[in-house]
Structure 1
Amino acid sequence: MDKLFFDLRPTHNPHRWYLPVDPSICVGPPGSLFMFGGVGMASAVAALERTTGRPLIWATAQYLGFARPGSVVDIDVWTPVQGKYNTQANTKGHVDDKEIISVSAALGSRPSEISGQWSEAPVVPPPEDCEPSNHWRAATEGLHSRMEVRIAKGRSGVDRIGNPEPDGRTLLWARPREGFAIDASMLAVMADFVPQGVGNALGKNAGGNSLDNTLRIRRIVPTDWVLCDIRISGVYGGFGHGSMHLYAQDGELMATASQSLIVRVRDSAEDR
Structure 2
Amino acid sequence: MSIARFPFWRCAPEGGEGRYVFPVTRPATVGPPEHPHVMGGAALAATIDALEQDSGQPILWANTQFLSPTQGVEELIIQCEPVGGGRSVSQWAAIAFAGERPVHRVNAALGARPGDSDTQFAQMPDVPGPADGEAKPSDPNGYDDNLVGQLERRTALEDNVRGYEAVWSRSAAGFANDAGWLAMVSDFFLGAHPRTRGGSSLDATFRFIRAAEPGWILSVTEFAAFDRGVVHGSARHFAEDGTLLAISSQTGVLPHRPFTR
TM-score, with structure 1 as normaliser:
0.87
In the alignment, residue 254 of structure 1 is paired with which amino acid?
A: L
| Counterpart in the other structure of 1:197 | 192
Alignment of 1:1-272 (within 5 A): 4-13=7-16, 15-137=18-140, 139-154=143-158, 165-199=160-194, 202=195, 206-266=197-257
| 229-238 vs 3-12, which moves further | 3-12
* Structure 2 Cα separation of the partners of residues 77 and 83 of structure 1: 17
* Structure 2 Cα separation of the partners of residues 237 and 198 of structure 1: 17
How far did 1:188 drift? 0.7
4+ residue runs over 3 A deviation = none
How far did 1:70 drift? 4.8
> 1:14–1:177: structure 2 CA closer, same or farther, 3 Å change rule?
farther
Please state whether the residue corresponding to 1:224 is helix, strand or coil: coil
> 1:224–1:87: structure 2 CA closer, same or farther, 3 Å change rule?
same
Asked if 1 retains the 8 angstrom alpha-carbon contact of 2:94 and 2:106, the reply is yes
| 119-128 vs 22-31, which moves further | 22-31
TM-score, with structure 2 as normaliser:
0.90
| Counterpart in the other structure of 1:158 | none
| 100-109 vs 174-183, which moves further | 174-183
Aligned positions, number: 255
In the alignment, residue 99 of structure 1 is paired with which amino acid?
A: P
Structure 2: tracts of 5 or more residues without a match: 1-5
How far did 1:185 drift? 1.1
> 1:209–1:78: structure 2 CA closer, same or farther, 3 Å change rule?
same
> 1:6–1:217: structure 2 CA closer, same or farther, 3 Å change rule?
closer
How far did 1:209 drift? 0.6
How far did 1:140 drift? 2.2
* Structure 2 Cα separation of the partners of residues 61 and 83 of structure 1: 22
RMSD between superposed Cα atoms in Å: 2.0
* Structure 1 Cα separation of the partners of residues 86 and 227 of structure 2: 41
Identity %: 30
| 29-38 vs 227-236, which moves further | 29-38
> 1:207–1:112: structure 2 CA closer, same or farther, 3 Å change rule?
farther
Please state whether the residue corresponding to 2:199 is helix, strand or coil: strand
Please state whether the residue corresponding to 2:189 is helix, strand or coil: coil
In the alignment, residue 60 of structure 2 is paired with which amino acid?
A: I
In the alignment, residue 106 of structure 2 is paired with which amino acid?
A: V
How far did 1:6 drift? 2.3
* Structure 1 Cα separation of the partners of residues 198 and 231 of structure 2: 10
Asked if 1 retains the 8 angstrom alpha-carbon contact of 2:222 and 2:235, the reply is yes
In the alignment, residue 80 of structure 2 is paired with which amino acid?
A: V
How far did 1:235 drift? 0.7
Tell me the alpha carbon deviations over residues 164-217 of structure 1, each in whole angstroms, 9 at most, x when there is no partner. Answer: 622110111111211111111111101111111232xx4xx8341110011112
How far did 1:125 drift? 1.8
Asked if 2 retains the 8 angstrom alpha-carbon contact of 1:21 and 1:69, the reply is no
